[in-house]
Amino acid sequence: MQQTNVAAYYGRRAAQDLGLIITEGTSVNREAARNDPKVPVFHGEEALAGWKKTVEAAHAHGCPIWPQLWHVGALPNPTISWRPSSPFESPSGAYKPSRSNGKAMSESDVRDCIEAFAKAARDAMNIGFDGVEIHGAHGYLIDQFFWDGSNHRDDHYGGENIAQRSRFAAEVIAAIRRATSADFPICIRLSQWKQQDFAAKLAPTPEAMEAWLRPLVDAGADVLHCSQRRFWEAEFEGSDLNFAAWARKLTGKPVITVGSVGLSGEFIAAFRGEASQPASLDTLMERFERGDFDLVAVGRALITDPAWASKVKAGQWESLTAFDPASLASLY
């Protein structure tokens, strides 16, 4: 982790009217938690000292900040040959049907992994972070437990229905609550889709969605970050409510919506090297004003332009810039 550059990167955005920063994914203390050596870690004195500087940079501008705690599970990075020192680990040794990678986690592995998340959250609280987000979306470890395409376990952490397959995530949340404090915010990022299968649907009905989300809320999740590729898309037939709106309706918890906010192209296009142009926020604001969601997450637009939020707040639409995929490789 380039401590000075990373702190400055987040500080630059904190100075521009953001209400909250959620960092990039940062791996918990498991040997196989990441699939790229450039992914920052959230353990060890040196890394935590760097993250503390990042907290201070955000707080200098009055902006709260949460780390996004992450474990990739069995999902490989096809663009590089690097592999972790231990085998990739996941519920059943696979990241999609008929695609194995690494090993199935033993019950001891599962317990140790839960503790790794809890330890990371405790460290986050101790160095001044204002809350934590758990990455439970997009086909990574926690999502691999949710999905029947990658979770074929016959123990406590598997099962035929989504409520049973939510136990690992619920135990991670409960362990974080025990390791922190009653008023320390815990957010979990969720998605129906995953990199392995854009059409995947963990919850095909509102009833199934409630069965998925209720164990997470009961375990102590305060906020649900509901990821879609396009935030305006309806989650179920017969209603125009998106994922976040349904999560709010079913649980009563605060929710974050996300998915191509302020840009013309969905974010997977960025990894194909495609640019996106600024887009209207009218639909977003209409949904916000009717109470569909509480917070809005912005990714690529802020990566390209640190002042995006300030420009939007001031109505400076003409000064918004297109998303350039090259910005993913810089720390400006």
Cβ-based neighbour number of residue 271 at 10 Å: 11
Residues 6+ apart with CB under 8 A from 266: 229, 230, 259, 260
| Beta carbons of 260 and 268 less than 8 angstroms apart | no
Q: Which residues are catalytic?
A: 140
Six-digit token string for 251:
């649980």
Amino acid at 319: S
| Phi, then psi, of 330 in degrees rounded to 5 | -125, 165
The most distant pair of C-alpha atoms in the chain lies apart, rounded to whole Å, by 56
Six-digit token string for 316:
């400076």
Taking Cα atoms as reference points, which of 54, 193, 25 lies closest to residue 120? 25
Length of the chain as a residue count:
332
| Phi, then psi, of 191 in degrees rounded to 5 | -150, 150
> From CA 193, how far away is CA 234, in angstroms rounded?
14
Residues 6+ apart with CB under 8 A from 286: none
| Pure H helices in the chain | 3-14, 45-59, 107-126, 141-146, 162-165, 167-179, 206-219, 243-251, 282-289, 300-304, 308-313
